[in-house]
Amino acid sequence: MTADFLKPTDQEIRELALRETDPARVGSFQPYTKGPLVALLILAGVGIAAIPMTLYRLLRRSLTTKKSGVPR
Does residue number 40 form part of the binding site for other proteins (CB under 8 A)? Answer: yes
Does residue number 32 form part of the binding site for other proteins (CB under 8 A)? Answer: yes
Does residue number 10 form part of the binding site for other proteins (CB under 8 A)? Answer: yes
Nearer to other proteins, 15 or 64 (CB): 15
| CA–CA separation, 56 and 47 (whole Å) | 15
Q: Are 32 and 39 in contact (CB under 8 A)?
A: yes
Does residue number 44 form part of the binding site for other proteins (CB under 8 A)? Answer: no
Among 2, 7, 14, smallest CA distance to 61 is for 7
Does residue number 16 form part of the binding site for other proteins (CB under 8 A)? Answer: yes
